[in-house]
Structure 1
Amino acid sequence: MPASITLSSLSWSTPDGKLLLSNLDMSFGAERTGLVGRNGVGKTTLLKLIAGELKPQSGTISVGASFGTLRQSVQVHQGETVADLFHATEALAVLRRAEAGLATADELVTADWTLELRVASTLAQAGLHVPAETQLATLSGGQRTRAGLAALIFAEPDFLILDEPTNNLDREGRIAIIDLLANWHAGAIIVSHDRELLETVDAIVELTSLGATRYGGNWSQYRERKAFELAAAQRTLADAERQVENAARTAQMTAERKARKDRTGNKKAAKGDMPRILAGGRKARSEETAGNNSRLAERKSTQALVAATAAREQIEVLQPLSVNLASTGLPASKTVLRANAVTAGYQPNQPIVHNLSFDITGPERVAVTGPNGSGKSTLLALIAGELKPWVGTVSLLTTLAMLDQQVGILQPSLSIRDNFRRINPDTDDNACRAALARFMFRAGAALQTVSTLSGGQMLRAGLACVLGGSTPPSFLILDEPTNHLDIDSIETVEAGLRAYDGALLVVSHDEPFLQAIGISRRLQLPEPAT
């Protein structure tokens, strides 16, 4: 029987009673499935239910397969090694004893002589070239994630269950994970916002508050289907709006026809051309007919308005965000930033940035790339003035706004609106509301306290407050803006940045994001010195 995971009428609520998953029916077979949806919709919860870490409150989960799970970060225990992830510590110890001539006869008979080579080969596929005895504590978080996935693949389960496997990885790590999964031919359920990774899957399951919808194919095919749905929704809206117009026109024509008949009847009654009892009967029938027609017209009008409202809401769900921003007025020839032979670091005689020189001129869009530890965050600290260079100079020659991963420019205790007014003190309330609405903070949403926002909402609020005023800064710096964001939030950020006409410096390992915002140049930092 083929390996499968089946959910039947599955429901689960948070401890405070919020319904997260409701009557979910779906199945996963021996294919790679990307699980997508907005943050908070229940993707990680669904993985935990499948893995048995949570119990469904109603419904059933049938798991006819073996599986291995990988969380967003691999936990490290004291003294734990890479071999421990592979459950190979004792078997490798036997090989070491055999090499030293200390193994027993039974150990020599049962020894797995190819184990070390197979472990090393699987690690190499993940881009890791470290001995199996390497302690996990000496590896970076990204390296531990790669080792953890390599160990899962080595075990050959029927299913991989992965939660954001490329989060916090540098470019090399992301490519290694993507290549590993591209060559995986059993089942996999992958929660991810990494569109490059999602291009390698066989199907996409979109989880929303209304349930789950499966789309065959990879991310590009899913987006094509969503574009088709948008076109269909636009046609439905056009039809619904025509029905609204027709209902209004019909009601008007009916009212005008009745008015004409009433005027004719009243004239005849006034002349005495009609017996009073007959005139009274006609008036009663006319009023009854008018009432029926009025109720029919009102019902048709209501139905048409309901259909139009539903179609409009569907358009809002499917329509990509488009943002309009005021111009920065940055001239194409103006030098925005100049770094001249800069060397800097945090520990004496241990430079992180060494002899770095570059300029940014006009509205250039520059991506800072390089492996983890190469000095990207240090460079941003130098530009922002938080760190002084040991040698050389950093000259900032225009207005700057910087959004770090914590969006520290926002005060957590204030509302989004109050943060906007604080950052843009010359903006009146109407202009503030209009600017926030362009970033999807409409009406009461603009009054949310920043500390209550999700990561995606917070970055969107930061962009709205920094870019939405009448005079946006000429230079914007973003540090890993897509980390921990769902895809809807990433696309909102992309729309805002495409509308921005100033200079942009972005640290990111997310290649589709860099392409979407129109990066024109890359500043590649070298491997860190060892």
Structure 2
Amino acid sequence: MTNPSLALQRAAFVLPDGRTLFSAIDLELDQRRTALIGRNGVGKSVLAQLLCGRLEPTAGRCRRNGRVHYLAQQIVPPAEATVAQVAGVAPVLAALARIEAGSTAAADFDRVGEHWDMRQRLEAVLREHDLGHLAAEQPAHSLSGGELTRVALAGAWLSEADFLVLDEPSNHLDRAQRELLQRRLREWPRGLLLVSHDRELLRTMQRIVELSAAGLHDYGGGYDFHVARRAGERGQAAQELARARLERRRGEAELREQRERQQRRQSRGQREGRQANQAPILLGLQKQRSEQSAGRLDQQQTARREALAAQVSAAAQRVEPEQDIVVFAPAAAAAAAPRRAAVLDQVILPYGLAAGRPLDLVIAGGQRIGLTGANGSGKSTLLKVLCAALAPPGGQCALHVPVAYLGQRLELLDAQQALLPQLLALQARANEAELRSRLALLGLDSAAVACPAGQLSGGERLKAALACALYRDQPAGLLLLDEPSNHLDLSSLQALEQMLRQYHGALVVVSHDAAFLAQLGLDTRLEIGAAGWCVRPWSDESAAGEGTAL
């Protein structure tokens, strides 16, 4: 196709509850690698879905000329889905199978087109993503979150689309796969829109556009250029607002002085008129002129005040307010930590690299464990065993403290129900006003907590699930967090880091974000590898592969 194009023209989107998410958005994608950034809940994923046709704008239009391939933020395939369906190549493979079985239907040949080698190409790209063990017909429900993301990315590279729209594609990926993603994005030869908070990934982009309450701002350069330019703009906007406020104060002082001078002149004229024993008709005319003069002054001063206020308002609109995000640690943080939080005795996992290898582990009260390993190695499975969501095929897991679990798929949340009722159900003694206050400090306003959780953005849903894990009647003595940094903007991530540093219960966290893990004060690394389990001090990075085998 010649001259493919993808653009939003004066696009607006109104949420089901009537709130306007954004309006009058103009964005045209070209061959530059473009990243869309912005705070949680501002509408980035909605904008991405408008571009790919998953949603329609409330006003304005999307001009789409060419093929667009979309990778969603949350990969949740239907229960019966296969690897080929997640990769988006199932229709081509099915048509190939029918042709090989003797079909001469024109529709099958049209479906295959030039892709007679699709099966081989799928196998090759799966091997590149360390998924060579997967078959196209394999059920998708057996895959981990990282494996699902890699299969979906394999489908993106196979799509040969004119434009890729990728929403948080680095979520759930381990270090090796993140590096592969960065290389693949650099090599992509056509249009690309990346929605992400991943700073390493953003640095591979050529153009940054930021969505905020003020609209869409195209910075036209890479991420480091954006950071420097954004800081300069914020400083300049703050200075302009300060100047406008100072000018308004000075203007108000001048208006007061002007009013006082006029009042003194009026008083002097009235006093002189009485002293000169002027006729009543002359005094009346003088009073009328004085009132007319006062009326003109009132009009002039009102206009001046309105102009000064408008200047301040315009300057204030250019200053984006900083939203302080606060996460409260569970009350257990203030209590004395028990000697043991959990004990695993010869536990065998049903899935992953360590499946069949028994694990003996004592998690002490207050211990802080980073659970590491490649995608699909069994990290999420171990967390599900620890929270009693999954029974191990062998061994026992004894819990000695209340457990809070935040899974990759945010299983704590009912997508059909509003957040506030879900939290109230977890806190029988809760004060609704206090809960609303805590949610607001998380960045979830009254509208967000009242709408179905499934309608929230990815970052908002994670915050909502975090609230359900933390804010409950029975405080957690053991926190199990599976990729908690996914979807969060920078300010929210920093608030989560601060809360976890203050939490004094036992902690087991899974994350591939090295910068995030470095902020948590971890003391133990539990690693899953092909050789089984290994435990060592967290800080002993030089001893990779060494330590105590379990």
- Would you say same fold, with TM above 0.5? yes
One-letter code aligned to 1:525: E
Are 2:441 and 1:438 equivalent residues in the alignment?
Answer: yes
Q: TM-score, normalised by structure 2?
A: 0.68
Match of 1:9 in 2: 9
1:114-152 Cα distance to aligned partner (Å, 9 max, x none): 999987665444344458x65443773644543453455
| Unpaired runs of at least 5, structure 1 | 95-111
Listed as ranges, the matches of 1:265-414 within 5 Å are 265-272=269-276, 276-312=280-316, 314-315=318-319, 317-323=320-326, 338-339=341-342, 342-345=345-348, 354-359=359-364, 361=366, 366-381=369-384, 384=387, 396=400, 402-404=405-407, 406=410, 408=412
- Pairing partner for 1:509 from 508, 511, 519: 511
Distance 1:242 1:188, change over 3 A: same
Match of 2:450 in 1: 448
Query: Is the 8 Å Cα contact of residues 426 and 473 (structure 2) preserved in structure 1?
Result: no
Distance 1:326 1:159, change over 3 A: closer
Secondary structure in 1 matching 2:139: helix
In the TM superposition, residue 296 of structure 1 has moved relative to its aligned partner by: 2.6
Are 2:215 and 1:214 equivalent residues in the alignment?
Answer: no
- Pairing partner for 1:261 from 260, 265, 270: 265
Secondary structure in 2 matching 1:189: strand
Q: TM-score, normalised by structure 1?
A: 0.70
> 2: distance between equivalents of 1:350 and 1:418?
35
Secondary structure in 2 matching 1:406: coil
Match of 1:176 in 2: 180
Listed as ranges, the matches of 1:196-207 within 5 Å are 196-207=200-211
> 1: distance between equivalents of 2:415 and 2:120?
53
In the TM superposition, residue 179 of structure 1 has moved relative to its aligned partner by: 3.2
> 2: distance between equivalents of 1:451 and 1:135?
32
Are 2:35 and 1:30 equivalent residues in the alignment?
Answer: no
Q: Bigger CA drift: 385-394 or 144-153?
A: 385-394
Query: Is the 8 Å Cα contact of residues 35 and 43 (structure 1) preserved in structure 2?
Result: yes
One-letter code aligned to 1:180: R
In the TM superposition, residue 526 of structure 1 has moved relative to its aligned partner by: 0.2
Query: Is the 8 Å Cα contact of residues 67 and 162 (structure 2) preserved in structure 1?
Result: yes
Query: Is the 8 Å Cα contact of residues 404 and 476 (structure 2) preserved in structure 1?
Result: yes
Match of 2:481 in 1: 478
Distance 1:516 1:376, change over 3 A: same
Match of 1:230 in 2: 234
> 2: distance between equivalents of 1:88 and 1:47?
28
Query: Is the 8 Å Cα contact of residues 427 and 473 (structure 2) preserved in structure 1?
Result: no
Query: Is the 8 Å Cα contact of residues 325 and 443 (structure 2) preserved in structure 1?
Result: no
In the TM superposition, residue 55 of structure 1 has moved relative to its aligned partner by: 7.5
Match of 2:492 in 1: 492
**Number of residue pairs matched?**
504
Query: Is the 8 Å Cα contact of residues 2 and 30 (structure 1) preserved in structure 2?
Result: no
Distance 1:508 1:33, change over 3 A: farther
Q: Bigger CA drift: 320-329 or 155-164?
A: 320-329
Query: Is the 8 Å Cα contact of residues 485 and 511 (structure 2) preserved in structure 1?
Result: no
One-letter code aligned to 2:420: I
> 2: distance between equivalents of 1:516 and 1:339?
24
Secondary structure in 1 matching 2:484: coil
- Pairing partner for 1:527 from 529, 536, 546: 529
> 2: distance between equivalents of 1:328 and 1:79?
43
In the TM superposition, residue 332 of structure 1 has moved relative to its aligned partner by: 12
Distance 1:331 1:24, change over 3 A: closer
One-letter code aligned to 1:448: A
Query: Is the 8 Å Cα contact of residues 349 and 378 (structure 2) preserved in structure 1?
Result: no
Query: Is the 8 Å Cα contact of residues 34 and 207 (structure 2) preserved in structure 1?
Result: yes
Query: Is the 8 Å Cα contact of residues 70 and 161 (structure 1) preserved in structure 2?
Result: yes
One-letter code aligned to 1:480: E
In the TM superposition, residue 234 of structure 1 has moved relative to its aligned partner by: 1.8
Secondary structure in 1 matching 2:34: strand
> 2: distance between equivalents of 1:37 and 1:160?
19
Query: Is the 8 Å Cα contact of residues 480 and 506 (structure 1) preserved in structure 2?
Result: no
In the TM superposition, residue 32 of structure 1 has moved relative to its aligned partner by: 1.3
One-letter code aligned to 1:355: D
1:479-500 Cα distance to aligned partner (Å, 9 max, x none): 33344x4x54x63353254256
> 1: distance between equivalents of 2:40 and 2:327?
26
Query: Is the 8 Å Cα contact of residues 336 and 396 (structure 1) preserved in structure 2?
Result: no
Cα RMSD over matched residues?
5.4
Distance 1:289 1:135, change over 3 A: same
> 1: distance between equivalents of 2:220 and 2:476?
43
Q: Bigger CA drift: 263-272 or 344-353?
A: 344-353
One-letter code aligned to 1:9: Q
One-letter code aligned to 2:379: K
One-letter code aligned to 1:251: L
Listed as ranges, the matches of 1:147-166 within 5 Å are 147-150=151-154, 152-153=156-157, 158-166=162-170
In the TM superposition, residue 502 of structure 1 has moved relative to its aligned partner by: 1.8
Secondary structure in 2 matching 1:261: helix
1:215-238 Cα distance to aligned partner (Å, 9 max, x none): 233444434433333222322321
Query: Is the 8 Å Cα contact of residues 237 and 312 (structure 1) preserved in structure 2?
Result: yes
> 1: distance between equivalents of 2:269 and 2:149?
87
Match of 2:102 in 1: none
1:440-465 Cα distance to aligned partner (Å, 9 max, x none): 456x5487266576254454356568
Query: Is the 8 Å Cα contact of residues 44 and 211 (structure 2) preserved in structure 1?
Result: yes
One-letter code aligned to 1:26: L
Secondary structure in 2 matching 1:525: strand
Query: Is the 8 Å Cα contact of residues 8 and 23 (structure 1) preserved in structure 2?
Result: no
Secondary structure in 1 matching 2:219: strand
Identity rate of aligned residues, in percent? 26
> 1: distance between equivalents of 2:188 and 2:333?
48
Query: Is the 8 Å Cα contact of residues 419 and 464 (structure 2) preserved in structure 1?
Result: no
1:257-285 Cα distance to aligned partner (Å, 9 max, x none): 23323332333233236565554444333
Query: Is the 8 Å Cα contact of residues 34 and 205 (structure 2) preserved in structure 1?
Result: yes
Match of 1:140 in 2: 143
> 2: distance between equivalents of 1:241 and 1:211?
24
1:238-264 Cα distance to aligned partner (Å, 9 max, x none): 123223323432333233323323332
Secondary structure in 2 matching 1:344: strand
